[in-house]
Amino acid sequence: MGHRECELFLVERVLHGNTALRVSYIANRGDQLTWAPNLNQPLPTTDAYDQSNPNPIPFPAWNKVRMRAGGAISTYESMQTELIHKYSHGLTFQSTWTWARNLADTESWPGSSFSGEVTGDTMNQYNLRGDYGNVGGTRKHRWITTMVDELPIGKGRFLLGNASGLLNGIVGGWRLSTIFLVETGPYATPFIQFDSTGNSNNGFNRPDLAGNPNNVHHTRTQWWNPNVFACPGRTAGQDLQNNTLNCPTQDQSGNALPRAGRFGNAGVGTLVGPGTINFSLGLAKDFRITERVVFKFESSFTNLPNHPNFDDPRQNLTESTNGQGTFGQVLESRIGDAGGNRVGQFALRIEF
């Protein structure tokens, strides 16, 4: 069972009236988190690809032997800046910018997005700290602003303040609510399906990295730069064909090449995916028919501008479709409230 230690430090100051600024530093560390080593992993070898690993596996009658063990760690640090306007004159809002750094060594397995009890499959049981890197679900920068405003229209308000009767019943009392979200992309980990260690039981590997894969013009068909990756122990880009990393096991004469004898050095969470921009809006009003009967109208729109937010690109450098590598390709847009297509809904109910 893991345990966590937390730290919190904040400074708050009133700027004017009901408006205040708060700056917070939040940190925590998790120790003895769960990870899943393969107890049947042999030691790596540099022997040629046509030879089996001379290092015996501990349990010859078994393939993988997974277990749950303590010993993994995580660290989280964030700086949060909040501008807060408490309710006054019908308006309330809060704008928060978070700058976060979340690291763990339970994120090795491709597709894992959260550290904790249910993940933790490690690439190399002899080097758990080699999997220490960015946690997939964390965004480095996240800015979110929420607002609720009673529109200044109708009797006693700034606009049409003398309205009464039917006119005030139509134009007065509207409530506007908005949520505006801007955040950088999630972290992802490049991987290859290739054995450079003589460890046929491992099932996956990571490439070598010789540059910044995020330093490229991002498009839906190529979000990351594949040319900075290499098969473990080889030169970046030399084995890349049609955006697919084809790691050779023989030289041009047909002779077996030696294995690298190690896993690739590309770190966990070295890829940064597409960010998200999302603006949602709601509009509501109460229509009082009698003292006891009220019609309530509510409407909401998520991603009102219908801005396309790309889903996570493909992470496998050895995967291809019809001979063309799919690494870095975005196959679909995000779904749901986190930035999917525009969705509007209306509701009308009666209370009595």
For CA atoms 234, 238, 241, 244, give the dihedral sign. Answer: positive
192 located within any domain: yes
| Counted domains in the chain | 1
Residue 127 lies in a domain: no
Whole-number CA gyration radius for the chain: 27
Amino acid 222: pLDDT: 95
How many other CB atoms are found less than 10 A from the CB of residue 348? 10
Q: Show the domain range for 83.
A: 3-30+75-102+136-351
Q: Which residues pair with 315 in a beta bridge?
A: none
Q: Contact at 8 Å (CB) between 100 and 94?
A: no
Q: Average pLDDT by consecutive 10-residue portion of the chain (352 residues)?
A: 74 93 95 88 91 88 85 94 92 96 83 46 85 91 96 76 74 89 94 87 82 95 95 90 91 93 93 94 88 89 91 92 90 76 90 86
Residue 114 resides in a domain: no
Alpha carbon distance 260, 232 (integer Å): 6
φ/ψ region of 213 (left if φ > 0, alpha if ψ in -120 to 50, else beta) reads alpha
The Cα–Cα gap between 243 and 226 comes to 7
Q: In degrees, to the nearest 5, what angle opens at C-alpha 221 toward C-alphas 216 and 226?
A: 50
Q: Per the domain annotation, does 66 fall within a domain?
A: no
| pLDDT score of 265 | 93
In a domain, 186, yes or no: yes
CA angle 79-310-227, nearest 5°?
90
Q: Which of 339, 340, 335, 345 is nearest to 282 (CA)?
A: 345
> Is position 89 within any domain?
yes
- The runs of H, that is alpha helices, within the chain are 165-171
* Rounded Cα distance, 207 and 236, in Å: 9
Q: Is residue 215 part of a domain?
A: yes
Asked if residue 54 belongs to a domain, the reply is no
